[in-house]
Amino acid sequence: MKRMASACLFALTLLLTISLAVVVPRTPVTSPPGSDVTLSCSFSYKEGAGLRGLLVTWQRPPADRVVHSFYYGRDQLDLQNEAYRNRTQLFPEQLSVGNASLRLKQVRGEDEGLYTCAVTNQVESSRGDVQLLVAAEFNEPRLTVDLAMPLDWVVLRFSAWGGYPEARVERLNETGQRITQLSHTNQSLQPNGCYSISSSMVLPSSLEARYTFVLIHSVLEQRLTRNLTVTAPPLVMGMHQSQFWILLVMVPVTVSLLMLVSITVMTRRGQRSAAAPDC
């Protein structure tokens, strides 16, 4: 009778704990740098089985770096990798309903990769892999045209920001031919963990043409296209724009010099008159 009772108790324990069946997302989880992200992981855990014998571990393969551990009914972080210190948490109140998801705070570029969610009880274990993709789309780009020195040249500037990781910028002429080699592009990492892009191209202002700037963010399949038409500046009173600007600068300077000379001459004449004796 006692043996039968023990057998029944053991069978009941198996029914309460068996079939963990970890379930994780099949597609990558995407998060921008600097934000918090939840890596989902659920398992079929029988209600009433208790958490004393439950072990939940999140790791980074292939070196099996410990991201977060939970056993004996509480977090166990002595073996946690230093890179994740104070940046992870589970949801202990939801473990009893089969939720072993991991909350990762302040996501960094180096956090990208594979994460393994492993759940073990007194009878069996199960695991699943979650792919984290750290990426963000770029904001709407801005195009500007500035005069260059000498004044018969212009600078076309293309700028965008807020994206991650780096993107590619292409420039095309009106025939669709790439002219990227004529430009200079700089991408810099900002304090918020995202990139800003600045691309410039110097062209003669007398050249009328249509140019196309294309930003290609291959990770998120983002493609932003902007067109710009450069028109030759009009002639002003028979002069080229650069000549007009030079004249516009020189006239005030010449007038100022003439006024200064005139004031100086009048001052000297006044001094001579004051020094002359009265008749």
For the ranges 12-26, 65-79, 199-213, the lowest mean pLDDT is seen at 12-26
Statement: residue 223 has pLDDT above 50: yes
Q: What is the CATH number of the domain that holds 197?
A: 2.60.40.10
* pLDDT tens track for 118-174: 999 888 899 999 999 999 999 999 998 887 766 678 888 999 999 999 999 999 988
* pLDDT tens track for 180-197: 888 899 999 999 999 999
pLDDT value at residue 118: 95
Tell whether pTM > 0.85: no
In a domain, 48, yes or no: yes
The verdict on 113 and 32 lying in the same domain is yes
The verdict on 153 and 127 lying in the same domain is no
| Residue finishing a domain among 134, 152, 178 | 134
The verdict on 125 and 172 lying in the same domain is no
Do residues 188 and 195 lie in contact, with contact meaning Cβ atoms separated by under 8 Å?
Answer: yes
In a domain, 112, yes or no: yes
* pLDDT tens track for 21-47: 899 999 999 999 999 999 999 998 766
Average pLDDT, the chain: 81
The verdict on 73 and 39 lying in the same domain is yes
